[in-house]
Chains A and B, each alone.
Chain A
C-alpha cells in the first residue's frame, strides 16, 4: 500500500502542550494554572440570547461572511474601541474562532517560498498554519530583556527579500507582553519600508492593564491597507466554546479569505453568532468586570512571585505570567513536570510556545483567587526545596 499521508502534515510537530496535557489529566486533584481560557462562564444575557435563538428555530446557515447584524456590530465595536473603520459588507468576516482566521489569512496571502515572520514565544498555531499555507516560517525570538516586545531591530534583522508577512501576536499568549503605541509605530515604519503585510492577532485586546488602552497596529498611518486584524469573542466575553472570531482587513484580502471560508467552513455557528450580537451590544460592563478581576489577580500573583524570589517582568496583557526559572538549573519541561509531580500544580513549559520559551513557564491567572493562593504556596514550597538542594 502507498503511504496515505502528506509529507507536509507528517513533518509538522504536534502541539507541545499535548504531551503535558496527558500527564495532567491523569491527576484529578491538581491545581491547574495551565489553562488558556477564562475561568468565567459566558455572561448569562449572552447565553440567554443563544438559547433564545435556538427556541426561535434559528438553526439555519447564515451567509458565508456571517450575519449582517453581527458584522455591523463588529464594525461599530472596532470603531468605538480602537478607532478602526471597516465596511461591514466587504471588510468583515466572521470565523470559527480566531484560529480559523489565522489559518485562512495565511492561506490567502502566501505563495510557496514566501517567508512569514513569527515572533516567539507565541500562540501555537502560527507556525503550523504558515507551513500548511506553503509559507516558510521565520522565527524571531523575543527577548526577556525587552519584556518580550518585538523591536524594530529584531524585525529588521529577520527580513530577507522573501519576507512577506509579519505575525503580530500582542497582547501576547504566553508572555503577557503588550506593545505600546510607540513600539507599534517603530514596527509599522519597518513594515512599510519593506512592503510587508501584517496579521495582527488581537484576541486579547480587551485584556490590558494599566492606564494606556490597547492600540491596534491597523490604526497607524498606512497600516490599514496592509493588515489583517484578527479578534474574537473567546477571551473578551469568556466564550471559548462558542468558537467565534472574526477577521477584518482590506477587501482584496478578505475576498480571498472568504473563498476559503466558504468552501471549507460554510459559515460560523449560527447560535454563536446571535449570542455574539448580544455580547457586542450589551457586554461592555461584563468585560470591565472581568478585566478588573483579572487585574487584581495579576497584581496578586506578581507580588507573590516576587516575594518568593521568582524572576518575572510585569505583564500588562492577556492573563498570563511568564516567570524565568533558569536559576533552578532545569529545563522548562523538567521544572513543570517536577512541580506537577511533587506539588500538583500544573503550569505550561515555555517551550510549548517555541524554542525561545526555554527557561520560562507560562502561568495563567484565569483561576479563582483561592486557587492562585494555594498554587502560589505550593510553588513557593517547591522552589524553596530546590534552593536547599542546590546549597
Chain B
C-alpha cells in the first residue's frame, strides 16, 4: 500500500485522504496511519509546490555548481556537504560520481547574487578545490513535469 500511496501523492500531494482511500480500496484510517508513519520515518519529507517562476514575472536565477573538494580526514564528504547545505540559498546538494564531487543547485534573485555566493561563501571553504558555475537558461522539465503548457485533450468527444 505504501508504494501505491507514494505513487499517487508524488504526483498530487493535494489529493484528499478520502479520495486516496477510495482509489486504493482501503479505509481512510489506514491511509492516514500510513501517511503519518511515513512522515515520522521521514519517508515523506515535505509537500512542496512545483512553481514555474518564469511565468510569474518574479526574477529568479538558478545555477548548478560543480564542486570539487578534498574530503576531511575521518569524516569523508558528509562534513563538507553539511557546510554547504546549511546555507539557506542552497537548493540541493548531491554527491556525484565522475569528474567532480558535489552538484550544488542554488537559487538567487540575480546573477550577481549567485556569483557572490560562489565567490564569497562557497569557494573560500577550506576543503573546496574548485567550482564551476552553470547558470540555467531554460527549464523544460522539473520533477517529472513538463513546464510547457499542458497538452490539450484532442480526442474526439464521443467515440465507440
Q: Give A contacts to B, CB under 8 Å.
A: 15, 17, 20-21, 24-25, 30, 32, 34-37, 39, 41, 123-125, 173, 292, 295-297, 299-300, 303, 346, 348, 352-353, 369
Q: Give B contacts to A, CB under 8 Å.
A: 4, 7-8, 19, 22-25, 151, 153, 155-160
Taking CB atoms, residues of chain A closer than 8 Å to B7 are: 292
Taking CB atoms, residues of chain B closer than 8 Å to A30 are: 157
Interface hub of B4, B25, B155, B160 (most chain A Cβ within 10 A)? B160
Taking CB atoms, residues of chain A closer than 8 Å to B151 are: 41
- Contact assessment for A300 and B23 in the assembled complex, using a CB-CB cutoff below 8 Å: yes
- Contact assessment for A17 and B157 in the assembled complex, using a CB-CB cutoff below 8 Å: no
A105 vs B88: C-alpha distance when bound (angstroms): 68
- A35 touching B159 in the complex, CB below 8 Å, given contacts A296-B8, A296-B24, A299-B25: yes
CB contact between B158 and one of A34, A353, A369 (< 8 Å): that residue: A34
Taking CB atoms, residues of chain A closer than 8 Å to B19 are: 300, 369
By beta carbon, the residue of chain B nearest A21 is B158
Taking CB atoms, residues of chain A closer than 8 Å to B8 are: 296
Taking CB atoms, residues of chain B closer than 8 Å to A295 are: 23
- A17 touching B22 in the complex, CB below 8 Å, given contacts A39-B153, A292-B4, A296-B8: no
A321 vs B151: C-alpha distance when bound (angstroms): 26
- A303 touching B22 in the complex, CB below 8 Å, given contacts A41-B151, A292-B7: yes
- Contact assessment for B157 and A25 in the assembled complex, using a CB-CB cutoff below 8 Å: yes
By beta carbon, the residue of chain B nearest A371 is B153
- Contact assessment for B156 and A35 in the assembled complex, using a CB-CB cutoff below 8 Å: yes
A34 vs B160: C-alpha distance when bound (angstroms): 8
**15 A-B pairs (CB sep. < 8 Å):** A17-B159, A20-B158, A21-B156, A21-B157, A25-B156, A25-B158, A35-B155, A35-B156, A36-B160, A37-B155, A37-B159, A39-B153, A296-B23, A299-B25, A352-B160
- Contact assessment for B22 and A34 in the assembled complex, using a CB-CB cutoff below 8 Å: no
CB contact between A124 and one of B22, B153, B155, B160 (< 8 Å): that residue: B160
